[in-house]
Chains A and B, each alone.
Chain A
Amino acid sequence: MNDELKITSKFLKEIRLNLYRPHSFAYERVGFVYCKATKKEGGLVASTYEAIADQLYIEDKMVGAKFSGDAIFAAMKRSLKTKEGVFHIHIHEHKGEPHLSNVDIRSVLEISNSLSDVTPNVKHGCILLSEDCCKAYVLSGDKKSLQLIKTSVIKFPFSIFYPKGELL
């Protein structure tokens, strides 16, 4: 797979600051990163971030954050208009390589499938952050799983997360 997501460290820093804001009842914040395609074989550059509005969170003590379908609908509408890939983003608050939980996988699959229904020709998925790592996943071709892709953070020195799991 040639998919690769690039994101500048400055942009990532802004997103992190936004995600670290406390919410009145949700344990964590989430958002959507909109990505533009840069090459036919799956290059993506992160372009815009939209936080989920406070009022769209739903109280649910079983998960870190739950939000209403309105947020997903807005993302679908935007993707339909701009043909951007949409990536759900959240942070696991620890150092080292983060991993998607079963709840993460289930919910990202649902969201990505919804997005893929409206813009099937662009990649959708999620970006998972830890305190010092950034990984991106895309919806697989059969739409049943999430595939880890090469993730490049443009910074000094630049860091690349390869799908095999090694961080270079």
Chain B
Amino acid sequence: MKEKYIRQSFLGENSQEKIEQTEIAVIGFGGGGSHIGQQLLHIGFKKIKIFDADIVEDSNTHRLVGINYPDDVVNQEPKVEVAKRMAKSIQGEITIETYKTTWQENADVLKKCKIIVGCVDSYDQRDQLEVFCRRHGIIFVDIGMVVKSNEGESSQMSGQVILSLPGHLCMRCMGFITDENLNQDRSKYGDAGPQPQVIWANGVLASTAVGIVVNQVTGWAGNVAKPIYLSYNANAGELEVHPRLKYTKIQKCSHYVLELVGEPKFIDL
């Protein structure tokens, strides 16, 4: 093992090789995705694909890891350029593929990935990503946070980290994706202004997700294959298994059956 990774050698025999060989994508390089990209690069992932169609704006300054203020804002730098710069500063070379597009516009490159980490804003996007992952046998990790404000009360900040493993319970089985919240989502997400986000909550969720990814690749923690749905109560600073998963009676996913894997296509009726 290379000297620079010696202090993570406890991850197991060939762990660094496994990490370097794993193709992984990060969808969204904002508050959560920039944390995740940074950590994946430090850990030594070499086959990283990053998708984000946005440019850096003033309102990203408080949470975008790797931002070069004010130049990135003034130059309207694409967020994926921040990712490239980050890769060069951490790895010494640009080891990542970046796409200044939505993931749907370049979905073919995602099909090779073993893991996709979704750092997207809406239930609808999460739902689409999970459908894609299930179709192509890809492990999906989702993170997200939301702030709810009620007049006269303090804002409630919460979030989730979900591991959706093909063959196991999906986000619908876990009660996270529902028709109701998909409909609500289409009108607005959260109710404390436009997409409220803060760096510390993004950091907690992103770090937890990276831990799940590394465990999935190396198996160092010795768990067994199972879906994960962690609920983050940022007001209390608590992260715990969500009751919807903890007490679920669902044994088998009925939403994504194996017969439906592969490219979608028209069939004769």
Contact = CB atoms under 8 A, between A and B. Distances in A.
Interface stretch (B43-51, B120-128, B185-193, B255-263): B255-263
B143 interface: no
A48 B246 CA distance: 30
B167 to A, nearest CB: 3
Given A45-B262, A168-B14, A38 B166 contact: no
A61 interface: no
* Most chain A CB neighbours (cut-off 10 Å) among B114, B139, B166: B166
Nearest to B115: A158
A37 B218 CA distance: 27
> Mostly helix, strand, loop or mixed at chain A's interface?
strand
A36 B225 contact: no
B137 A9 contact: no
A154 B167 contact: yes
Query: What size tier do the contact residues of chain A reach?
Result: 20 to 34
Interface string A23-40: 000000000000111111
Contacts of A158: 114, 139, 216-217
A156 B226 contact: yes
A154 B137 contact: yes
Contacts of A40: 108
Given A37-B262, A48-B259, A6 B18 contact: no
A141 interface: no
A48 B258 contact: yes
Contacts of B225: 9-10, 155-156
A4 B261 CA distance: 15
Contacts of A39: 108, 111-112, 136
Contact of B111 (A11, A38, A155): A38
B261 A156 contact: no
Interface string B187-231: 000000000000000000000000000011111000111100000
B226 A152 contact: no
Nearest to A157: B219
Interface residues of B, number: 30
Contacts of A168: 14, 17-18, 21
B135 interface: yes
Interface string B144-175: 00000000000000000000011110000000
A47 interface: yes
A160 interface: yes
Contacts of A46: 258, 261
A137 to B, nearest CB: 19
A68 interface: no
B216 A156 contact: yes
A8 interface: yes
A36 B262 CA distance: 5
A43 interface: yes
A36 to B, nearest CB: 2
Nearest to B268: A81
Interface in A1-59: 4, 6-11, 35-40, 43, 45-48
Interface string A129-165: 0000000000000000000000010111110100000
A47 B261 contact: yes
Contacts of B223: 156
A45 B218 contact: no
B136 A43 contact: yes
A43 B258 CA distance: 15
B230 to A, nearest CB: 16
A164 to B, nearest CB: 12
19 contacts: A6-B137, A8-B165, A8-B258, A36-B261, A37-B262, A39-B108, A43-B136, A45-B137, A47-B259, A47-B262, A48-B258, A152-B137, A154-B167, A156-B165, A156-B225, A156-B226, A157-B215, A158-B114, A160-B21
